[in-house]
Amino acid sequence: ATTLSAAVASTTLLSSLELKGRNFTDTIVCALANALSVNRSLVRLMLDQTSVSPSAARALAQSLMSNRTLKLLRVYGSDNNAH
């Protein structure tokens, strides 16, 4: 989680990231949300069919308050009962 979130936080080249079908814990999704709050290059993040819990989804939503570049955040088909 720390490697992924550190890469997302620091990259200036990545504009699209697809992490479909992953079984993420809340810790991983919250670390990703923290990275999104400082990322300035990512335009699309696809988390379709992942295990994003309601609390992790709130962390993602909160990160959008400070992220002005992300235009598409998809969590379609997430199993919010996984945690």
- Tens-digit pLDDT profile for the chain (83 aa)? 679 899 999 999 999 999 988 888 899 999 999 999 999 999 999 999 888 889 999 999 999 999 999 999 998 876 655 44
Token digits for 10?
Answer: 């620091």
Nearest C-alpha neighbor of 8 from the set 21, 30, 23, 80 = 30
- Compute the residue count for the chain: 83
Which amino acid, one-letter code, is at 71? Answer: K
The DSSP letter of residue 11 is -
- pTM score of the predicted model: 0.85
